[in-house]
Amino acid sequence: MSGSDAVFVGSIPEFYDEYMVPMIFASYAEDLAQRVADLNPARVLEVAAGTGVVTRAAVRLLPESAELIATDLNQAMLDHAEATGTLRPVRWQQADALDLPFEDASFDVVFCQFGAMFFPDRPRGFAEARRVLRPGGTLLFSVWDRIEENEFAATISATLATLYPSDPPRFMERTPHGYYDLQTITQDLAAAGFTTTPHHETIPARSHARSAEAAAIAYCQGTPVRAEIEARTPPDLTTATAACATALTNRYGPGPIDGKIQAHVITIKA
Give residue 214's Cα distance to chain centre: 19
| Helix, strand and coil in the chain, % to nearest 5 | 45, 20, 30
Tell me the C-alpha distance between 270 and 137, whole Å: 5
* pLDDT for the residue numbered 10: 52
Report cis status (omega within 30 of 0) of the bond before 254. Answer: no
Q: Which residues pair with 110 in a beta bridge?
A: 45, 139
What CATH number is attached to the domain comprising 80? 3.40.50.150
Distances from the Cα of 221 to the Cαs of 2, 160, 229, 261, in angstroms?
18, 13, 9, 20
- How many whole angstroms separate alpha carbon 47 and alpha carbon 77? 12
Tell me the H-state helices in the chain.
Answer: 12-15, 26-38, 53-61, 75-84, 122-132, 151-163, 171-174, 182-191, 212-221, 225-230, 237-252
Q: How many domains does the chain have?
A: 1
Which residue segment(s) compose the domain that 182 sits in? Answer: 3-269
Instruction: Give helix 182-191 / helix 122-132 axis angle, nearest 10°.
Output: 60
pLDDT at 9: 43
Helices within 42-74 (DSSP H only): 53-61
pTM (2 d.p.): 0.92
Residues contacting 269, CB < 8 A, separation 6+: 136, 137, 138, 139, 194, 196
Residue 11's pLDDT is 53
Q: Is the CB of residue 55 less than 8 Å from the CB of residue 32?
A: no
Low-confidence ranges of the chain (pLDDT < 70): 1-13
